[in-house]
Amino acid sequence: MKRRDFLKNTLPGIVLPTVINGFSLKSFAADSPLAKLLGTTDNDHVLVIVQLQGGNDGLNMVIPIDGYSNYFNARSNIAIPENSVLKLDGVDKTGLHPAMTGLRTMYNEGKLGIVQSVGYPQPNFSHFRATDIWMSASDSNQVITNGWGGRFLDYEYPNFPTGYPNSSMPDPLGIQIGSVTSLVFQGPSVSMGMSISNPTSFYNLISGVEDPAPNTLAGKELKYIRQVANQTSQYATVVKNAALNVTQQAPYPTNNALADQLKIVARLVKGGLKTKIYMVSYGSFDTHSLQTTTTDTTVGTHANLLKNVSDAIKAFQDDLKFLGVENRVMGLTFSEFGRRIKSNASTGTDHGAAAPLFVFGSNAQKMVHGNNPTIPANAGVNDNIPMQYDFRSVYASMLQDWMCVKNSDLQQIMLQNFQNIPLVKTSACNPAVPNLSGTTLVDNYPNPFTQSTTIRFTTSGGHTLVQIINTLGQVITTLVDREFATAGTYSVVWQSGNTSTGVYYVRFQNGVTQQVRTMVKVR
CA dihedral sign of residues 356, 357, 361, 365: negative
What is the per-residue pLDDT for 18? 27
**What is the rounded end-to-end Cα distance, in angstroms, of the chain?**
32
H/E element, 488: strand 488-495
Summarised one tens digit per residue, pLDDT across range 169-188 is 999 999 999 867 789 999 99
Angle in degrees, 0-180, between the axes of helices 301-323 and 257-271, rounded to the nearest 10? 20
What is the per-residue pLDDT for 7? 30
Specify whether the CB–CB gap between 423 and 116 falls below 8 A: no
- CATH tag for 3-43+433-521 (out of 2.60.40.1930, 2.30.30.90, 2.60.40.1080, 3.30.2290.10): 2.60.40.1930
Distance CA 299, CA 292 (A): 6
Q: Which of 29, 99, 88 is nearest to 57 (CA)?
A: 99
What is the per-residue pLDDT for 36? 39
386's CB contacts (< 8 A; 6+ apart) are 117, 353, 354, 373, 374
DSSP state of 347: S
Distance CA 501, CA 139 (A): 52
φ, ψ of residue 512 to 5 degrees: the values are: -90, -5
Distance CA 45, CA 51 (A): 20
What is the per-residue pLDDT for 34? 37
Specify whether the CB–CB gap between 370 and 402 falls below 8 A: no
φ, ψ of residue 462 to 5 degrees: the values are: 85, -165
Summarised one tens digit per residue, pLDDT across range 35-91 is 333 345 568 999 999 999 999 999 999 999 999 999 999 999 999 999 999 999 999
133-168 core/surface letters (b: 16 or more CB in 10 A; e: else): bbbbbbeeeeebebbbbbbbbbbbbbbbeeebbeeb
Where exactly does CATH 3.40.720 map onto the chain? 46-206+234-414
What is the per-residue pLDDT for 222? 60
Where exactly does CATH 2.60.40.1930 map onto the chain? 3-43+433-521
φ, ψ of residue 363 to 5 degrees: the values are: -100, 10
Give CA 459 to chain center in angstroms: 31
Which stretches of the chain score pLDDT less than 50?
Answer: 1-39, 228-232, 433
Distance CA 221, CA 480 (A): 47
- CATH tag for 46-206+234-414 (out of 3.40.50, 3.30.2010, 3.40.720, 1.20.120): 3.40.720
φ, ψ of residue 505 to 5 degrees: the values are: -125, 140
Q: List % helix, strand, coil for the chain (3-state, nearest 5).
A: 30, 25, 50
